[in-house]
Chains A and B, each alone.
Chain A
Amino acid sequence: MTREIPEGVNPKDIESVLSWVKGSSLWNLHFCFGCCSTEIMAAMMPRFDIERFGFAPADTPRQADVLVANGPISRKIVPRIQRLWAQMPDPKYLIVIGACPMSGGPYQGSYNIVTDIRDVLNVEPAAFIPGCPPNPEGILEAFIMLKNRIKEGSYGKL
């Protein structure tokens, strides 16, 4: 489907509207592959409430925009992550929470842990938030970083 910009409309305006739209409504896939998911869940609940910013949970990958890598990546779960990522429609984003998906975290040296999510998905994440697990405020920080990067246009295709 080709999208043609009508005469007289500034492409920059369309881009800024689109990036506002996509940044204001980020739905993250409910996929828990480890410990940090408890803090993500705490982030959606009273006291931290990330829904204020428009970040809502989605149950199926077809409705999700963001895959939150939130735990140690065991070998068994690798094909499932890849399949879920493939099932998510474009534009989709990746953020990494916790030390495990970026370096193996406390489980380095284990025979069953893949240390870097970039090896699994071949995608650069928008944000890395270290911690074991990070605070819900840290998780909110990750989402806001993603939103800002979308707005700047430095991440993902619109």
Chain B
Amino acid sequence: MANFEKIAATPETLVDTARSLKASGFTFLEFMSAVDYIPKNKVEPGANRMDAVYMLWNPATNEQKMIVVPLPRDNPSVPTVMPVWEGANWHEREAHELFGIDIKGHPNLRHLLLAEGWNDTYPLRKDFNVDDVEIDWSAPTSKLAEGNPERVYHFAVQHPGAHGPQGFDLLLDGNTIVDAEARIGYVHRTLEKLGEQRNYYQNILNMERGCIMCGMPYIDVWARAVEELLGVEVPEKAKYLRLIAVELNRLSSHLLWMGPQQGGDFAYMPVAMWAIGDREKVLDLLEALTGGRITFAYIRPGGVRWDIPEGFREMAQKNLRYLESRLPMYEEMMFKEPIVKERLTGLGKLTPEEAIDIGVSGPSLRATGVAHDTRKDAHIPVYEDLGFQIVTQTGGDGWARGMVRLGEMKESIRLILDALDRLPPGNSEADLFNRRAMPWMKVPTGEVYAVTESCRGRLGIHLISDGTSKPYRTKIRGPSFSNMYAVEHILKKGSYLYDIPALIGSMDTCPADMDR
């Protein structure tokens, strides 16, 4: 849980404030976004402004600070902070297209999440009307395609190597990439705007679909954000159950990554198929615990929905021990096999400074040697009691990232089995919490930023409540948004066509996470 300090700035002092904060240790820009206040809002009644917010994190001291720049609602404009943090690039593009904030000095303010020819309506503004939207379908797909769309090589959307509806427009010279531009936004389901339209209970289902392969951390962080605002304390048993659920989800996501994502990049079918076959055993456990394989709705504010079923411990022992025995084989097949090793070594090398500057988090960050894991940094309950160890590698390339994920899988198995052994007695949900009234519960006015470690990196939800039963602003900081920017950054530095699928797979970007 992270509570934060707000620092006010004006558009003129923004860059200097940012620079001085970065110099004092706040080297990680979590996100840049905005909050729209129209006069009839209930958070600050009468306010009529747009706040541009920059959430910063100090990895060394785990402090969070937020720079708030109040702006007028007509023609809001800030200078770009890209000179300070390179990772601000895409965050500013998103703020521009969703809120209408003009970013002065930004190299490329084209639409990122919305369709290319979206007109000048800004969806996340409070006075947005969906009937005003018109899309010009003849707009070019990227800056590279402007003027001459024929010369661009589309490595996007339906391309099997792109792992989902994401990708790049490339300018190629033979097999060498001369220039690249990312194309994302095909799964932009507007979870943030839906968050404002749904009440706190419905939002559990909304937030869960933030990432399909890794939905449990999303509802975990949502529940903790709401609990912080309500002032509810969760029983010990529920904390253990949450850990078990999240780690099971992490296991299934990493197995999916190892199989079709990374293995499928090399058309390495045995690994792809066997990993998914083994993943089914983890999904069996998840189904026994929560009822769902991919979407769960298991964790809710106050605790978890139900206790572990009978026979779960034995089933977990059996399945997870089997999985543990298979991991050395995967290690040999994926990381010691000469062909795969040659393909992964040196793939998309990132230095620690570059990674933090861009905002990369998760296994991709830990592979560069930076030992930061939100589970430890944010003191998420129970992890430290179970002796959680952060897995790191040096090298920063695809091989290191893979080894980190493999290590995380081993650690997850250990955590789950330990948690099951030491499960305390008690209720799985807070007693004083009126479950019947939950769908209509009103959350007192407040603001909180909750973080956790999803399978892909540092996940955060910035929640502003206004005393009604629906949130005022739900900003999701998805880890894959910054990780994909890192891929574009690596491609722009110079890479090859045959490396792209492996690169996207090794950074493990999830389109659902990116586009929200």
Q: Do chains A and B touch in the complex (CB under 8 A)?
A: yes
Q: Which residues of A contact B (CB under 8 A)?
A: 29-35, 37-39, 41-42, 45-47, 59, 61, 71-72, 74-77, 79-80, 84, 106-107, 109-113, 132-133, 135
Q: Are A33 and B276 in contact (CB under 8 A)?
A: no
Q: How many angstroms from the CA of A46 to the CA of B294 in the assembled complex?
A: 17
Q: Which of A42, A61, A76, A132 has the most CB of B within 10 A?
A: A76
Q: How many angstroms from the CA of A132 to the CA of B515 in the assembled complex?
A: 19
Chain B nearest CB, measured from A65 CB (Å): 16
Which of B116-142 touch A at CB < 8 Å?
116, 123, 128, 130, 133, 135, 137
Which of B59-79 touch A at CB < 8 Å?
none
Whether B348 sits at the interface, judged by CB under 8 Å, is no
Q: How many angstroms from the CA of A47 to the CA of B209 in the assembled complex?
A: 25
Q: Are B209 and A106 in contact (CB under 8 A)?
A: yes
Which of B283-305 touch A at CB < 8 Å?
293-295
Q: Mark B156-172, 1 if CB is under 8 A from A, else 0.
A: 01101000110000000
Q: Which residues of B contact A42 (CB under 8 A)?
A: 276, 279-280
B165 contact from A38, A77, A112, A135, Cβ within 8 A: A77
Chain-A contact segment, one of B4-12, B187-195, B349-357, B470-478? B187-195
Q: Mark B76-89, 1 if CB is under 8 A from A, else 0.
A: 00000000000000
* Size category of the binding interface on chain B: 35 or more
Q: How many angstroms from the CA of A157 to the CA of B232 in the assembled complex?
A: 61
Chain A nearest CB, measured from B272 CB (Å): 8
Whether B393 sits at the interface, judged by CB under 8 Å, is no
Q: Are B206 and A106 in contact (CB under 8 A)?
A: yes
Chain B nearest CB, measured from A135 CB (Å): 7
Q: Are B186 and A74 in contact (CB under 8 A)?
A: yes
Known: A41-B260, A79-B137. A110 touches B280 (CB 8 A): no
Q: Are A76 and B190 in contact (CB under 8 A)?
A: no
Chain B nearest CB, measured from A128 CB (Å): 19
Q: Which residues of B contact A59 (CB under 8 A)?
A: 160
Q: Are A74 and B260 in contact (CB under 8 A)?
A: no
Chain B nearest CB, measured from A67 CB (Å): 11
Known: A34-B187, A39-B294. A111 touches B133 (CB 8 A): yes
Known: A45-B273, A47-B280, A133-B294. A35 touches B209 (CB 8 A): yes
Q: How many angstroms from the CA of A79 to the CA of B256 in the assembled complex?
A: 29
Q: Are B277 and A37 in contact (CB under 8 A)?
A: no
B212 contact from A38, A74, A77, Cβ within 8 A: A38
Q: Which residues of B contact A38 (CB under 8 A)?
A: 212-213, 256, 294
Known: A35-B209, A35-B212, A47-B277. A110 touches B190 (CB 8 A): yes
Q: How many angstroms from the CA of A30 to the CA of B260 in the assembled complex?
A: 13
Q: How many angstroms from the CA of A83 to the CA of B212 in the assembled complex?
A: 26
Q: Are B189 and A74 in contact (CB under 8 A)?
A: yes
Q: Which residues of A contact B128 (CB under 8 A)?
A: 111
Q: How many angstroms from the CA of A106 to the CA of B197 in the assembled complex?
A: 12
Q: Are B186 and A76 in contact (CB under 8 A)?
A: yes
Known: A34-B512, A75-B135. A110 touches B194 (CB 8 A): yes
Known: A33-B186, A35-B512, A76-B114. A46 touches B194 (CB 8 A): no
Whether B205 sits at the interface, judged by CB under 8 Å, is yes
Whether B153 sits at the interface, judged by CB under 8 Å, is no
Look across to chain B and name the residue whose beta carbon is closest to the beta carbon of A79. Answer: B137
Look across to chain A and name the residue whose beta carbon is closest to the beta carbon of B128. Answer: A111
Q: Which of B116, B137, B186, B273 has the most CB of A within 10 A?
A: B186
Q: Which of A32, A47, A132, A133 has the most CB of B within 10 A?
A: A32
Q: Are A112 and B190 in contact (CB under 8 A)?
A: yes
Q: Which residues of A contact B280 (CB under 8 A)?
A: 42, 46-47
Q: Which residues of B contact A32 (CB under 8 A)?
A: 164-165
Q: Are A77 and B190 in contact (CB under 8 A)?
A: no
Q: Which of B260, B272, B294, B515 has the most CB of A within 10 A?
A: B294
Q: Mark B241-281, 1 if CB is under 8 A from A, else 0.
A: 00000000000000010011000000000001110110110
